[in-house]
A and B are shown apart, each in its own frame.
Chain A
């Protein structure tokens, strides 16, 4: 098992998701609703 991350830098929001995946067995587990899912608003267009 190891951790992977995705970042989506959008027009208004930046998001980071970290997930645990299995080594070749198809497991994908986002690390908790209150865990490392980070959202930051106002990146490029101000609200």
Chain B
């Protein structure tokens, strides 16, 4: 399990102390603060969040990948005025990607959710794209990595499940 380094922790605390001052300046009545990606997977998550609270007076909660996907989708669908399936929402972040797919009304109000996967723009850039432009061999290696990635496997499972639900609905409807 990875840990948040002391340097990274110090950077985050500096930013959140700045946020805290801004929130005070704007006389904010209610604050909702969440942490995602790297934080929820870190071995020292609790200590990190405790330090943030002690330094900035902000209570930050580490939310699950599923909750992140639901909140992201709620915001995106609300902003776009989309109320009914079919829709597919995904959030490509720095460390993880969340996605939510709903093909049929039977999937419920908020649709089906697949938990977040460890594929992020910064993660992949840091791991593969070390030169600009990247060499062809490096791009090929990245594409090979993506082809076997958990995102594609999850999507495949999700679509298969959705198709089975649809076929069952057709048979019973």
Contacts and interface: CB of A to CB of B under 8 A. Distances in A.
Q: Is A bound to B? A: yes
| Interface band, chain A | 20 to 34
Taking residues whose C-beta sits less than 8 angstroms from the other chain, chain B's interface range is: 35 or more
B58 interface: yes
Interface string B30-71: 111111111100000000000000000010100000000000
Interface centre among B27, B30, B122 (most CB of A within 10 A): B122
B139 interface: no
Interface in A1-47: 2-14, 16, 18, 31, 36, 38, 40, 42-47
Consensus secondary structure, chain A interface: strand
Interface of B: 4, 8, 11-12, 15-16, 18-19, 22-23, 26-39, 58, 60, 93-96, 120-123, 125-126
